[in-house]
Amino acid sequence: MKAIRDRLGVDDAREAGLTLIEVVVAMVIFTIITTGLLYTMVSLLTITRDSRARQVATNLASQEIDLARDIGDIFSLVERNRDVAINGDTFHIKRTAHWVTNISSSDACGSGGGTLRFKRVKVTVVWDGLRSGSKGVESDTLINPNERISDPALGTILVSVKTGAGEAVANVPVTAKLTDGTGPTLTGKTDSQGCAFFLRVAPGQYTTSISSPSGFSYVDVDGNASPSKTAAVAAGTSAAVPFFYDKSGTFTASYTNTGGAVLPTNMPTTLLSTRDPSVFASTTAANPKTLAVYPWPDGYSVIAGNVPACAAADPGLWAAAGAKGEGTRPNPYAALSGVNTPVAVSAGTVRVNNLGSGTKYVLIKSISVPTAGQPGCATEQIYRYASTNSSNLTITIPYGTWEIHKSTVSGFTPTVATRVASSNFVVGLLTAILGGNNTITADPRPAA
């Protein structure tokens, strides 16, 4: 046989089978082709599923629009979120509704200056497994009131109540009454969008007030539990009255009382944040004091005294001068809803000696000409201290420069009182207390 194969020229090597390299190359080619086929099949399945889900979402959006149009009372047409499970997919339906008072703007509670024309309703449907970069289904419509809700001879009050984060506050009691006290008291509550409406009201100046929902403690940005605002209502127009209102936090503020110093009975406390300052009035010398605060996310720097009326109370406004460096505003404290936060409030203290015998009444008065680098007071500040039977009294004073007056009469004014000389001041109890010209300066600046 070998001789025959040799004569026929048959090569044994060609019958030796495939090499390992050939097998590996064949497997790689097969894998590439198979992967491409699987990717194509998966893409087709994903597109088919997304198309089917999109069709269902379109039907759900159309159904939600029909439900909105079927609501009889347009004021009860508000934002709503709901979930629907169909064919193993969960669809999330969000409906928003905003009043339109003019073509260029819309708001959940309407805007001032125009009548409530119609509601703009938008429905958005998304679903679990929505492809990345793909949008859900959106549908919009405009809904007119079934009847005229405004009167050319009367006006409308639009009240909105929101938190600092822009979230609506529902079930807030709202009242509105003519500021002169005439006419009936209008009452209502905010809906789920934080809106309350008073329709067809007589033109005039109205005072609108809100209060905490039942079972909760809310405050506005100035710490008022029952804030009020006034607004003028004209015939044929609407007046918008916005409130920022949120569940209160509390600060337990402890003020500097070195040497047993007492606080004035009427010294306010200022809370400074990234918005307008809040000033908390006081009628007691309690130390510490409890302050109900609006939960502002950036927190508050807490300062003794009335900063808007007397900038000297704010340490951060003191400029460098002489041997003193710049003042520094206290670090802010976080204000959280329902949380009590201990707060330390810096101030100056001074001991006043030789007040004389008998019951004493003491007050301090800010001076108009400040020391170098001190911002001074735009409005004169007068703070009073409770009576004392001692000839010596240690008092807490806000930052700034002050005169000290004494009297045996309660409620006296500086013009009918005795000025206390600086020789009677003991300033060693706290650093940064300087005397001179019968004044006392509580200086927050460090040594340069």
| Bond into 227 cis (ω within 30) | no
What are the boundaries of each domain within the chain? 12-149, 156-246, 248-448
Q: What does DSSP assign to residue 27? A: H
pLDDT score at 432: 46
pLDDT score at 93: 94
CA-CA distance, 269 to 344, in Å (whole number)?
A: 12
pLDDT score at 160: 93
CB atoms within 10 A of CB 264: 24
3-class SS at 196?
A: strand
- Interacting residues of 382 by C-beta distance below 8 A, sequence separation 6+: 363, 364, 365, 366, 413, 414
Q: Which amino acid is at 157?
A: I
Q: What does DSSP assign to residue 179? A: T
- Interacting residues of 246 by C-beta distance below 8 A, sequence separation 6+: 163, 164, 169, 218, 219, 294, 295, 337
Q: What fold is seen in the domain 12-149?
A: Pantoate--beta-alanine Ligase; Chain: A,domain 2 (3.30.1300)
The token duo for 388 is 């004392």
Residues of the chain with pLDDT under 70: 1-18, 42-47, 103-105, 112-113, 146-148, 427-436
pLDDT score at 6: 60
- 156-246: what CATH class? mainly beta
3-class SS at 316?
A: helix
CA-CA distance, 171 to 175, in Å (whole number)?
A: 13
The token duo for 61 is 């959006």
Half-sphere exposure (CA, 13 Å, Cβ side) for 152? 0
Does the pTM surpass 0.85? The reply is no
pLDDT score at 215: 82
The token duo for 113 is 């200056």
